[in-house]
Structures are given as structure tokens and as C-alpha cells.
């Protein structure tokens, strides 16, 4: 407190510094700044009489408490976050103008949030589930959000299916369970009718969905994005995070025991690591490829159910991420942070991936109701850390106090600096599009089994055994025989031996029929 602060904290009456002003707990006051005389007894009509409506102190306190909860995220409600920084080691200047990827040695502050997908905000940390891996970089050119997962592919190819996927994954609407599990009818019913999910199914049945620690997971941007250089040329890019501690998982039995003994296992681990100076670290790598190279891939890189094998496009390490500070306040930061895949900086652009295109709309839309105001970008954890101004004004919970008369552009009344910056602003890649519009899907999105097979066969024999037993456990919880059979049918398209193992674990006497392959089934790499 300055010398201007008076005994009760009032700034400006020139009073002397009072001992109370220096205490960690200042005088208790109402939201209007009135000192409270008694925080233990409400105002009563007499010694044993009724409480009075007049007691505005009681009403303010209870009312604020009543509204402490905001809606949790529709997905990824359970998450843990931390502050940190990104440091670039190799410049990508030939490919991009994004300063965060061109200035070697520069440290960009960031906030990371890692999450489960299906469970509520109070659910356990260790169910079998995909983990979110979301980073908000506070770059010199504005905020860049890389909102990824710990698995490099996704269940579906088109965002229009996302509400159905999540309704099938989350607790069933009539009974309100299971809270965070894929071992139930609706999930497998949906999956059995969605062959494009089979590659992701192989990954989620592997130990990757049972991370030992948030510090020991990989992260992936999943979609192809574009980098754009100073000449306006664009190069496709995929983003990868690899943990310095290596990729480590628990077994299923360990994950179940931990969920009972310590539901906060991952959050506690991250908190303890950061508070004791064991800062988690990830290597950041890119896969770069041109349109001509993409045209040669035996899959469509715009299909989020496909990855680009490293044999085709090697990973280039370009930097590192370090998490070194636990948030001061969980709600203000980890809970109120709002990631959005459409938050890009100049030099980075989207691709036409139809899953990504839908995501560009969904996040801001949901956050308007989750955080309750068009001004949620002013919350400190969401606000850009570079200078910024625009002509937006007003709106619910407006916390900034813009000065001046001009809240429009162009204008001659107060200069026209906005225009000067346009040439340095965000530019979309110059791409020509042609063809007939429609609710259509390219044939290049039709191969649903090759990469599922490639993943399964790339696993060590004990990892394959874990995948098979996970499938047996999960499908044994499914009440409808036709759903179990349909899933095993899909497995036959992936690997006959895997299908046999699962069928035998489920007690099938004969293998189910192969589902009609509307999709071409071919080996990877194609001959
Ligand atoms: C939240 C990743 C697909 C809608 C999240 C979060 C992550 C994530 C990491 C949590 C962010 C946080 O920690 O606050 C992904 C990935 C996807 C994907 C990697 C596919 C590659 C989709 C799609 C949609 C969608 C297709 C909708 C069309 C949402 C919504 C939230 C969310 C509504 C909640 C956001 C909030 O309340 O702040 N997603 N997601 N996601 N995602 Fe996705």
C-alpha cells in the first residue's frame, strides 16, 4: 500500500498507513466497500427472533455463493492446468511469418490445460479416456491456441457428427451413468455404426488412454494446418509434443485402483512436480509437407482419422515447452480459460479438414454460455499479453474502460492507426476452390481400416494383448449381442487374429460376418 492509503484502505484521503492495511487479510468488506462488523451472526428481529430481509450483508454473501458455479465444459470438464513458456530452438522462417516460430531463443508465455473428455469436472483422473492437450500461447502477435489431444487421430471425419459422438460417450440420458467410461452400450452402438472410428478405437484401447502422469503423455495438433511465409506461400504442417520423461502408462488394473484411492492422482502429480521444481517439459516438432507431397499420400491428410507416418514425413524438433508455475487460483485460470482452434496468429492458417472447420465455430459459441459474456476475452487468463485495441464496445461484464468518442473504423476524428496495421495483420492462405457444393464426402476419406491395422501391427506383443483384453472388457459390458458382433466384425477388417482373440474372450462360438465393406480395404503402404 502507498502512503496515500488510509487505515481502512481508502486511497486518496492522505491518511497514515495503518497496521491493518499491511495485513494479509485486510478488513472484511462488502462488494460495495463497506466494512463488515460481524461475519458470524445475521441480523435478527430479537435475540431468538427471525432473520430480517433487511440484512443486505447476509443476502450479498449468500447470493454470491449461490452463483459460484458456472456450467462445466460440455466435454473436457475435468482438467488441470499450469503456466509455462515455449522456447524456439530452430527457426521456421522459410515457412512462416509467425514470430513464435521464427525467433530462436525467444520465450513465449503460455497456459496449458490437460483434461479427460467424458467425465464431469469432479470425476477421477484415471479412466480409460482420451486426454486433451490444449496450449494457449500469449505471442507478440496475439494469442495462438493449439487445442489438441494425446492421440494423433480422431473418431470422426466431420464435425456434424460430434454432438452424436459425445452423446453416445457421455452418461446415458435416462440413467445418468456411466460418468466416465467407454464400457457401455451407447458408445459401442455408435462406434459399430461408424467404421471411420476404428483407427481411433485401436488407440483408445491401447495403454495410451491410461497415462501414468500428465507429464508423460504426448500431444498432437491432429489436423493439418498451414504455415504461410513472407512471400505468401503456404506449407502444410502437423504439430507434435513429445514428453521429456518419455511416454508412460499404467496398466488397466493400476488405473482402476488409483481411481479409487486417489481420484486427483494426475492433478496432484502435476501440482507436486511443479511446486518442487521438477518442471515438466515437452519437445515440440513439426511435420512439414507440400500440396504435391500430400497428393502422393495413400490417404487424405484432411481426414482427421489419419496420421502421417513419420516414415513419410519425419518430425523436425523446433522447440520446447516447459510448465513452471501452478496457477494462483484454479477457478480464475484453469476453469475460466477458453481455448479456441480459431485463435491463430499471422503466419499460420487452417486447412480444409472438415472436423477442424466445424471446431472453428463450436468453441467460441459454447464459451459464450459457459462464461456468460461476449467479454470473456478480458479475463486475465484469456487476455492477449500484447498491446491490443479494437472498436468493440459495451456488452455484458465489460471490464475495460475505453476512452474517446470513436468506436468505429474508418475515422478521421482520432487518427486512423488501425489501417496502418492491416498489412501486418492476419492473412488467409491464397487457395482457389472449385467444384459443386453439397453434403458430400471425398472418396479419399473412404479407407477406414488400413491405418487401424498399421497401428495394431506396429505394437509390441504385450501391447497387442492389452488392446485385445481392453476390447474384451469393454465389449463384455455391452448388453446387446448385435452391437458386440458388429464391432468384432469391424475388427476382422483390421486383423483377423485380433478379431479371433476378442471373439473368444467374449465367448463367441463362430466369428461374426464381415460387415459390408463399403470402404476399400487395402494394405498400407499400398503396392
Ligand atoms: C473442448 C480437443 C473436436 C467441441 C476441447 C478441449 C480439447 C479439445 C483439448 C478442452 C480445452 C480446455 O482444456 O479447455 C479436441 C480435439 C478434437 C476436438 C483434439 C478433434 C481433433 C471437437 C469438435 C467439436 C468440439 C469436432 C465440435 C464440433 C468442443 C467443445 C469444447 C471442447 C464445445 C468445450 C470448450 C469450452 O467449454 O471451453 N476440445 N476437440 N471439439 N471441444 Fe473439442
For position 510, what pLDDT does the model report?
A: 86
Burial class (CB in 10 A: 0-12, 13-18, 19+), 173: exposed
Atom of ligand 1 nearest to the CA of 358: 28
> What integer best gives the mean pLDDT of the chain?
92
Pick the residue whose CA is nearest to atom 13 on ligand 1. 113
CA separation for the pair 114, 219 (Å, rounded) = 10
Testing ligand 1's pocket by substitution, the residue of 361, 363, 381 carrying the most ligand atoms inside 8 A of its CB is: 363
Whether the CB of 160 sits within 6 Å of ligand 1: no
Give the distance between the most distant pair of CA atoms in the chain: 91
Q: Which residue has the higher pLDDT, 24 or 145?
A: 145
Whether the CB of 499 sits within 6 Å of ligand 1: no
Q: At what angle do helices 496-505 and 481-494 cross, to 10 degrees?
A: 150
Testing ligand 1's pocket by substitution, the residue of 166, 302, 362, 364 carrying the most ligand atoms inside 8 A of its CB is: 362
Pick the residue whose CA is nearest to atom 9 on ligand 1. 132
Atom of ligand 1 nearest to the CA of 304: 21
Residue 218: closest CA among 138, 315, 303: 315
Residues 242 and 297: beta-carbon distance below 8 Å: no
For position 431, what pLDDT does the model report?
A: 92
Helices (H) and strands (E) in the chain, counts: 13, 10
Q: Which three cell numbers stand for residue 199?
A: 483407427
Catalytic status, residue 64: no
Residues 155 and 197: beta-carbon distance below 8 Å: yes
- For 389-417, how does the pLDDT look when each residue is reduced to its tens digit (9 = 90+)? 889 999 999 999 988 999 998 888 987 65
The catalytic position among 76, 223, 301, 466 is 76
- For 239-289, how does the pLDDT look when each residue is reduced to its tens digit (9 = 90+)? 999 999 999 999 999 999 999 999 999 999 999 999 999 999 999 999 999
The catalytic position among 18, 41, 67, 149 is 149
Atom of ligand 1 nearest to the CA of 361: 28
Pick the residue whose CA is nearest to atom 3 on ligand 1. 359
Distance from Cα 362 to the centre of ligand 1, integer Å: 8
Q: Which pLDDT band, with edges at 50, 70 and 90, does 179 fall under? A: confident
Distance from Cα 462 to the centre of ligand 1, integer Å: 32
For position 20, what pLDDT does the model report?
A: 45
Whether the CB of 339 sits within 6 Å of ligand 1: yes
Whether the CB of 370 sits within 6 Å of ligand 1: yes
Overall residue count recorded for the chain in this entry? 527
DSSP bridge partners of 132: 115, 149
Atom of ligand 1 nearest to the CA of 134: 9
Whether the CB of 159 sits within 6 Å of ligand 1: yes
CA separation for the pair 223, 227 (Å, rounded) = 13
Q: Worst-scoring range by mean pLDDT, 339-348, 397-406, 413-422, 453-462?
A: 413-422
Q: State the DSSP H helix or E strand holding residue 323, giving kind and residue range, or none if neither.
A: strand 316-325
- pLDDT > 70: percent of the chain: 91
Atom of ligand 1 nearest to the CA of 160: 28
Catalytic status, residue 76: yes
- For 474-502, how does the pLDDT look when each residue is reduced to its tens digit (9 = 90+)? 999 999 999 999 999 999 999 999 999 99
Distance from Cα 471 to the centre of ligand 1, integer Å: 25
Q: What is the ipTM of this complex?
A: 0.97
Whether the CB of 162 sits within 6 Å of ligand 1: yes
Atom of ligand 1 nearest to the CA of 114: 13
Per-residue H/E/C for 212-238 = CCHHHCCEECCCCEEEECCCCCEEEEE
Q: At what angle do helices 252-261 and 461-476 cross, to 10 degrees?
A: 60
Pick the residue whose CA is nearest to atom 20 on ligand 1. 154
Whether the CB of 156 sits within 6 Å of ligand 1: no
- Give the C-alpha distances (Å, rounded to integers) separating 102 from 91, 186, 232: 4, 47, 16
Q: Worst-scoring range by mean pLDDT, 3-17, 68-82, 456-470?
A: 3-17
Distance from Cα 201 to the centre of ligand 1, integer Å: 18
pTM, rounded to two decimals: 0.93
Amino acid at each position: 500500500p502507498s502512503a496515500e492509503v488510509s487505515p481502512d484502505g481508502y486511497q486518496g484521503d492522505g491518511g497514515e498507513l495503518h497496521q491493518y492495511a499491511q495485513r494479509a487479510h485486510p478488513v472484511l468488506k462488502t462488494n460495495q466497500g463497506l466494512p463488515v462488523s460481524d461475519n458470524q451472526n445475521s441480523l435478527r428481529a430479537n435475540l431468538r427472533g427471525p432473520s430480517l430481509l433487511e440484512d443486505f450483508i447476509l443476502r450479498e454473501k449468500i447470493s454470491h455463493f449461490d452463483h459460484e458455479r458456472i456450467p462445466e465444459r460440455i466435454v473436457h470438464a475435468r482438467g488441470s492446468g499450469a503456466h509455462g513458456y515455449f522456447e524456439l530452438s530452430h527457426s521456421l522462417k522459410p515457412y512462416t511469418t509467425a514470430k513464435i516460430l521464427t525467433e530462436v531463443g525467444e520465450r513465449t508465455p503460455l497456459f496449458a490445460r490437460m483434461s479427460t473428455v467424458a467425465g464431469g469436472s469432479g470425476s477421477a483422473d484415471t479412466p480409460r479416456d482420451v486426454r486433451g492437450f490444449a496450449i494457449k500461447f500469449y505471442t507478440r502477435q496475439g494469442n495462438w491456441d493449439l487445442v489438441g489431444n494425446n492421440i494423433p487421430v480422431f473418431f470422426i471425419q466431420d464435425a456434424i457428427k460430434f454432438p452424436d459422438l459425445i452423446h453416445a460417450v457421455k452418461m446415458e440420458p435416462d440413467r445418468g451413468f456411466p460418468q466416465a467410461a467407454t464400457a457401455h452400450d451407447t458408445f459401442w452402438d455408435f462406434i459399430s455404426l461408424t467404421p471411420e472410428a476404428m483407427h481411433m478405437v485401436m488407440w483408445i484401447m491401447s495403454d495410451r488412454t491410461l497415462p501414468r502422469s500428465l507429464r508423460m503423455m504426448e500431444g498432437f495438433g491432429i489436423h493439418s494446418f498451414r504455415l504461410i511465409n513472407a512471400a505468401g506461400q503456404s506449407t502444410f504442417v502437423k504439430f507434435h509434443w513429445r514428453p521429456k520423461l518419455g511416454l508412460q502408462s499404467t496398466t488397466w488394473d493400476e488405473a482402476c485402483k488409483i481411481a479409487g484411492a486417489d481420484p486427483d492422482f494426475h492433478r496432484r502429480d502435476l501440482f507436486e512436480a511443479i511446486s518442487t521444481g521438477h518442471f515438466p517439459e515437452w519437445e515440440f516438432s513439426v511435420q512439414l509437407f507440400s500440396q504435391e507431397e500430400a497428393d502422393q499420400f495413400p490417404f487424405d491428410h484432411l481426414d482427421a482419422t489419419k496420421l502421417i507416418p513419420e516414415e513419410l514425413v519425419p518430425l523436425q524438433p523446433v522447440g520446447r515447452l516447459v510448465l513452471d508455475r501452478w496457477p494462483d487460483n484454479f477457478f480464475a485460470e484453469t476453469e475460466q480459460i477458453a481455448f479456441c482452434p480459431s485463435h491463430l496468429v499471422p503466419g499460420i492458417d487452417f486447412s480444409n479438414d472438415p472436423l477442424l472447420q466445424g471446431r472453428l465455430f463450436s468453441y467460441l459459441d459454447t464459451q459464450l454460455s459457459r462464461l456468460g459474456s461476449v467479454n470473456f476475452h478480458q479475463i486475465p487468463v484469456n487476455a492477449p499479453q500484447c498491446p491490443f485495441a479494437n472498436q468493440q464496445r459495451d456488452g455484458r461484464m465489460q471490464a475495460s474502460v475505453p476512452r474517446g468518442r470513436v468506436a468505429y473504423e474508418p475515422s478521421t476524428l482520432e487518427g486512423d492507426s488501425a489501417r496502418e496495421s492491416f498489412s501486418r495483420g492476419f492473412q488467409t492462405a491464397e487457395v482457389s476452390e472449385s467444384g459443386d457444393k453439397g453434403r458430400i464426402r471425398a472418396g479419399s476419406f473412404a479407407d477406414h481400416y488400413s491405418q487401424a491395422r498399421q497401428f495394431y501391427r506396429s505394437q509390441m506383443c504385450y501391447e497387442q494383448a492389452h488392446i485385445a483384453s481392453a476390447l474384451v472388457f469393454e465389449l463384455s459390458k455391452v448388453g446387446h449381442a448385435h452391437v458386440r458382433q458388429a464391432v468384432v466384425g469391424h475388427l476382422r477388417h483390421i486383423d483377423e487374429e485380433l478379431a479371433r482373440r476378442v471373439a473368444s474372450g467374449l465367448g463367441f462360438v463362430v466369428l461374426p460376418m464381415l460387415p459390408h465393406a463399403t470402404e476399400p480395404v487395402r494394405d498400407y503402404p499400398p503396392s
